[in-house]
């Protein structure tokens, strides 16, 4: 038997995502559980900051929802107290974190997901995670311009 060469498999490319533990998650003391879940999954923390958003930053962050009826209420909610902004990194980090977060509507989110386990309301749904590489780049630049 000759030696065999394994097919070349490219190393997984690290991707970054912006994750927020929203003000409801911080107020309810869920920061530790969210971080534990994403670290257990294998995502690595690259940046972390507790801060209260200005209306301007909140409107920029949720700009794609500007025309939606819930936009004003969403901005009020997300600026209503401190949130924890994180940048996480890992292979397919964007998709990986959204799978951990679960569906936007926590009632529809599967048990075992963050929203499925900890929330009942569509607005106060504990976490945000970037939904595409383009959004991740925009959101990381908005929250952590030095990265």
Give the residue numbers of the binding site for ATP: 22, 70, 98, 104, 115, 125
- Listed in sequence order, the DSSP H helices in 1-147 are 23-27, 31-41, 55-61, 71-78, 93-101, 114-118, 133-143
Contact 140, 128 (CB under 8 A): no
By CB under 6 A, tell whether 38 contacts ligand ADP: no
Burial class (CB in 10 A: 0-12, 13-18, 19+), 36: exposed
Query: Using CB under 6 A, which of 26, 74, 75, 85 touches ligand ADP?
Result: 74
Q: How far is the CB of 122 from ligand ADP (least distance, A)?
A: 5
**Should residue 117 be labelled a site residue for ligand ADP when binding is judged by CB under 6 A?**
no
Cβ atoms < 10 Å from Cβ of 130: 24
Which of 16, 37, 61, 128 is an active site residue?
A: 128
Count, residues near ligand ADP per rule CB under 6 A: 8
- Whether 61 is a known active-site residue: answer no
Closest separation in Å from C-beta 32 to ligand ADP? 21
- Residue 104 binds to ligand ADP (criterion: CB under 6 A): yes
What whole-number distance in Å separates Cα of residue 19 and Cα of residue 75? 17
User: 133 pairs with which residues across the strands?
Assistant: none
Structure tokens at 16: 């970054």
Binding mask 118-147 for ligand ADP (x = CB under 6 A): ----xx-x--x--x----------------
- Tell me if 46 contacts ligand ADP by CB under 6 A: no
Cite the active site residues: 128
């Amino acid at each position: 038997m000759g030696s065999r060469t394994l097919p070349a498999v490219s190393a997984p490319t690290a991707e970054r995502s912006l994750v927020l533990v929203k003000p409801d998650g911080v107020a309810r003391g869920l920061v530790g559980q969210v971080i534990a879940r994403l670290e257990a999954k294998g995502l690595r923390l690259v940046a972390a900051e507790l801060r209260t958003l200005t209306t301007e930053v909140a409107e920029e962050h949720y700009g794609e929802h500007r025309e939606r009826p819930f936009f004003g209420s969403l901005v009020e909610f997300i600026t209503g107290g401190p949130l924890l902004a994180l940048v996480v990194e890992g292979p397919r980090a964007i998709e990986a974190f959204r799978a951990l977060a679960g569906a936007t509507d926590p009632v529809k989110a599967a048990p075992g997901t963050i929203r499925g386990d900890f929330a009942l309301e569509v607005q106060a749904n504990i976490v945000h995670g970037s939904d595409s590489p383009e959004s991740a780049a925009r959101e990381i630049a908005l929250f952590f311009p030095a990265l």
